[in-house]
Structure 1
Amino acid sequence: MVASSLLAASSFVPVIGSSLVTVAHAEDQLSAKVGKPLQDAQTALGAKNYAKAMSAVNTADAVPGKTDYEKYTIAQMRAAVAASSGDVAAASKAYDVLIASPRTPAAAKQQMLMANATMAYNAKDYAQAVPAIERYLKIAGPNPQMQTLLVQSYYLQQDYKNAARVQQDQINAEIKAKHVPAENQLQFLATCYHQMKDSANETHAYVLLAKYYSKPDYWAMLIHNLAADPQMPDALTFNLERLRMATGVLKEPSDYMDMVERAVQGGLPQLGLNLMNQAYASGALGKDAGAAREARLKAMVVKRAAETKASLTADAEAARKLPNAAPSLTAGYNLVLDGQVDAGLALMREGLAKKPVAPEGAKLQYGMAQMDGGREDDAIKTFADVHGDHGAQDLAQLWTLLISKPSK
């Protein structure tokens, strides 16, 4: 992925010989002692005889009593010869002289800064390229091409942390400007975090890929990364399984059975029954060797759902009197599943006010209830307020994507 996602490096080196525009002065002229070897250098450079050209530049530079203009012109020619021959160190020193000179117009200075940085990158001198690119960006401002080279320069030195930092900043700027980040930038960000073994941030990168470029591979990788996070609370596993089902990633009958059982264990048998009915309708259950076992599980879920429905009112009244949040959240969700959406959501809000043990997970559950109750716009608002690492925020963002832009 890395090789295919990187943008090709520019080989641009501006012409800095006699055609460079400078600030002119009345006394600007070359003496014969300086002008003759510089003319020889120009001729040798045109013939690509770089050693002869640099020797002529050195001859001119050795002349005593040079004027500022002569020193400047020598630096121009030295930079041209060094850049053309690939002598990064010599070219960089010559560029520094030219950039520091008041004779060089601001626009030309920016060209030189870019050439210096690009030259170091093309020479694979990434340690030199990084400060040169950063210097350019500081003076010239944002430039997508140069920012890409900066990211690559860090990455190719295996400095994945800084590569990710710069790439993330570029992506954040695009999003803030209401632009869609480039797909290869998001891929590259995910690659950086993968190299760092930072699964949480790698997951965030795939969230953005799924958001802006909804492809099956991104969903599969995203869900895999969420499931692989060892710090993801067990309480979120059921939500993750629902996401797998919604995106077509949940395949095995045993996985469907596990999801339904988790719904029942969580006090939401009607939700488990709804999901099981969907699985039967799609052919995921009831047609395999375990059909008999699946039928027994369904019978149990139907029975539990009926029992819960019969005690809805009593459960809601009891939950209101309890100081902890979970009973109100569960009883409220069951009211929503029974069609009493307003009453159920109101009871869940009471639960949220009781300071749940896992507040982000509780907000996620509330958003799911809103979604299941047909209040999708409200669910999106709730999901936007879910934060935290290790699953809750990422799951909330993914459900938002599925609500607003269903997976194909």
Structure 2
Amino acid sequence: MSSRLLRVALFASAAFALSYPAAQAEDVLGADVGKALQQAQSALSAHDYTKAMAAVNAADAVKGKSDYESYTITQMRAAVATQGGNLDVATQAYDKLIASPRTPKDTKHQMLMSEATMAYTAKDYPRAVKAIERYQKEVGSNATMDTLLAQSYYLQKDYPNSVRVLKQQIDQEIKAKKTPAESQLQMLGASATAMKDSATTTHAYVLLATYYPKQEYWALLLHELIVNPKIPTSLQLDVYRIRLAAGNVSQARDFMEMTEIAMQSGMPQLALDLMNQGYQANVLGQGAEAPRQARLKAMVEKSVADKKASIAADEAAALKQKTGDDLLTVGYNYVTFGQADKGIGLMQQAMSKGVTDMNVARLHYGLAQLAAGKKTDAIATLKTVDGGAGAQDIAQLWVLKLSAAK
């Protein structure tokens, strides 16, 4: 029941008491109280809240009132104060009604909800929080009240509590296989950003991109990845690649830099594939930079031919190494050359030998599986990427992207 419906109910209950005999002999309004409340009812109907409250006060001033008369006066006071926007008086009246044994249990619950809603509407957020928490304690969880609680914390800039209650609500919804509200996730992201909590901010954007796959959420996610200080320069190419997959690369300089990094990493076919995407998107090959881009492409194509000629020797040399780092690159190159099974097998062998960073190796192994057309296997591999050096963040975005494309 909304605040509007509750004040209608309060008005109706007070009017009922004025119009009909009580069920119990003692539940009768005396002439003085009844007359004053009739005047209050008429003034309330005319939206003259000052006159209505004066009549309520006159009824309350009558000496020797019965409990029933006091209760009915409080009902009318609550109705007048609620419609008149007097938060303090309405809250005091509701509290009396809630404490009264005359008020049915369900009505008490609606009054608690109305107290919270009125406080929120009046922008008295601390009072709204207090009322909502009382409701939750006495009644339990309610979607409307849960949302108002998070909003009340957020609007008074109590971001830690906003994050706390939002995380709890969102986790419960996901566990129940429900879709969290977009506004909930947006508020979580905004609260975490205000706290400079990058982990929670990224988590919020991941959920937004998962449940509401809009380009703007991917842009926010990728921005968080780009500015994340824990991402080492060695993963710069991987950052570019997930950005490219998400449609977040549109500048010629980005394609050129990707190409150069791939070349420096000893993967010329990957470099050529990235350049070709730039040409296909009409980003490369345009304007004054087109000749320089063409020269780079020619150099990359020559490197591809050279690498194909030397890859068997590269493999033999890598197999003799104590670690699997070089072999991992050789395996990836085989995959890019179209020998997927051989390349993936060598990458597995490389990880068995041991590599400098197993999580980066798993990330690249998952991308190799993807290039080989093994998307299900790639997702499973990418989910195993762990650690706090950035590879896990990139892998999670790939999982999100690939899962959404199923």
TM-score scaled by length of structure 1: 0.82
Is residue 78–residue 90 contact of structure 2 (8 Å, CA) maintained in 1?
yes
Count of residues in Structure 1 that have an aligned counterpart in Structure 2: 399
Q: CA deviation at 1:345?
A: 3.1
Q: CA deviation at 1:116?
A: 0.8
Partner of 1:380: 379
Is residue 116–residue 132 contact of structure 2 (8 Å, CA) maintained in 1?
yes
Q: Give the AA of the match of 1:81.
A: V
Comparing 24-33 with 230-239, greater Cα deviation is found at 24-33
Partner of 2:232: 233
- Distance (Å, rounded) in 2 between the aligned partners of 1:245 and 1:156: 37
Partner of 1:167: 166
Q: Structure 2 vs 1, CA of residues 389 and 104 (structure 1 numbering), >3 Å: closer, same or farther?
A: farther
Structure 1 unaligned residues grouped into runs of 5+? 1-8
Q: CA deviation at 1:112?
A: 0.6
Is residue 29–residue 69 contact of structure 2 (8 Å, CA) maintained in 1?
yes
Q: For 1:255-270, what aligned pairs fall within 5 Å after superposition?
A: 255-270=254-269
Q: CA deviation at 1:120?
A: 0.8
Is residue 11–residue 119 contact of structure 1 (8 Å, CA) maintained in 2?
no
1:61-83 residue CA offsets vs partner (Å, 9 max, x unmatched): 45566544344333322222221
RCO comparison, higher one (Cα < 8 Å, 6+): 1
Q: CA deviation at 1:60?
A: 4.2
Q: CA deviation at 1:300?
A: 3.6
1:244-278 residue CA offsets vs partner (Å, 9 max, x unmatched): 32333322222111101211222323222222233
Q: Structure 2 vs 1, CA of residues 123 and 12 (structure 1 numbering), >3 Å: closer, same or farther?
A: farther
Q: CA deviation at 1:109?
A: 1.4
Identity between Structure 1 and Structure 2 (%)? 53
Does residue 1:188 correspond to 2:187, yes or no? yes
Which of these residues, 13, 20, 24, is aligned with residue 19 of structure 1?
A: 13
Q: For 1:343-362, what aligned pairs fall within 5 Å after superposition?
A: 343-352=342-351, 358-362=357-361
Q: Structure 2 vs 1, CA of residues 344 and 142 (structure 1 numbering), >3 Å: closer, same or farther?
A: farther
- Distance (Å, rounded) in 2 between the aligned partners of 1:177 and 1:10: 29
Q: For 1:4-403, what aligned pairs fall within 5 Å after superposition?
A: 13-14=6-7, 15-17=9-11, 19=13, 27-32=26-31, 34-62=33-61, 66-313=65-312, 315-316=314-315, 319=318, 324=323, 326-352=325-351, 358-387=357-386, 391-403=390-402
Is residue 3–residue 114 contact of structure 2 (8 Å, CA) maintained in 1?
no
Q: Give the AA of the match of 2:10.
A: I
Q: CA deviation at 1:238?
A: 0.7
Q: Give the AA of the match of 2:117.
A: T
Q: Give the AA of the match of 1:151.
A: A
Is residue 280–residue 286 contact of structure 1 (8 Å, CA) maintained in 2?
yes
Name the SS for the 1:289 alignment partner: helix
Name the SS for the 2:126 alignment partner: helix
Is residue 207–residue 394 contact of structure 1 (8 Å, CA) maintained in 2?
no
- Distance (Å, rounded) in 2 between the aligned partners of 1:390 and 1:209: 23
- Distance (Å, rounded) in 2 between the aligned partners of 1:333 and 1:138: 58
- Distance (Å, rounded) in 1 between the aligned partners of 2:60 and 2:388: 61
Name the SS for the 2:116 alignment partner: helix
Q: CA deviation at 1:391?
A: 4.6
1:219-260 residue CA offsets vs partner (Å, 9 max, x unmatched): 333323321223322222211211232333322222111101
- Distance (Å, rounded) in 1 between the aligned partners of 2:91 and 2:322: 70
Is residue 204–residue 394 contact of structure 1 (8 Å, CA) maintained in 2?
no
1:162-217 residue CA offsets vs partner (Å, 9 max, x unmatched): 33433343333333333333333333333333433444433333333333333333
Q: Structure 2 vs 1, CA of residues 316 and 113 (structure 1 numbering), >3 Å: closer, same or farther?
A: farther
Is residue 17–residue 77 contact of structure 1 (8 Å, CA) maintained in 2?
yes
1:34-58 residue CA offsets vs partner (Å, 9 max, x unmatched): 5444444334433433334334434
Is residue 13–residue 75 contact of structure 2 (8 Å, CA) maintained in 1?
no
Q: Structure 2 vs 1, CA of residues 267 and 12 (structure 1 numbering), >3 Å: closer, same or farther?
A: farther
- Distance (Å, rounded) in 2 between the aligned partners of 1:249 and 1:387: 24
Q: Structure 2 vs 1, CA of residues 309 and 95 (structure 1 numbering), >3 Å: closer, same or farther?
A: same
Q: Structure 2 vs 1, CA of residues 30 and 220 (structure 1 numbering), >3 Å: closer, same or farther?
A: same
Comparing 136-145 with 155-164, greater Cα deviation is found at 136-145
Comparing 18-27 with 278-287, greater Cα deviation is found at 18-27
Partner of 1:5: none
Name the SS for the 1:249 alignment partner: coil
Q: Give the AA of the match of 2:222.
A: I
Q: CA deviation at 1:98?
A: 1.8
Q: CA deviation at 1:129?
A: 1.0
Q: Structure 2 vs 1, CA of residues 33 and 287 (structure 1 numbering), >3 Å: closer, same or farther?
A: closer
1:5-29 residue CA offsets vs partner (Å, 9 max, x unmatched): xxxx975544224527999766433
- Distance (Å, rounded) in 2 between the aligned partners of 1:353 and 1:162: 46
Q: Structure 2 vs 1, CA of residues 40 and 252 (structure 1 numbering), >3 Å: closer, same or farther?
A: closer
Structure 2 unaligned residues grouped into runs of 5+? none
Q: Give the AA of the match of 1:125.
A: D
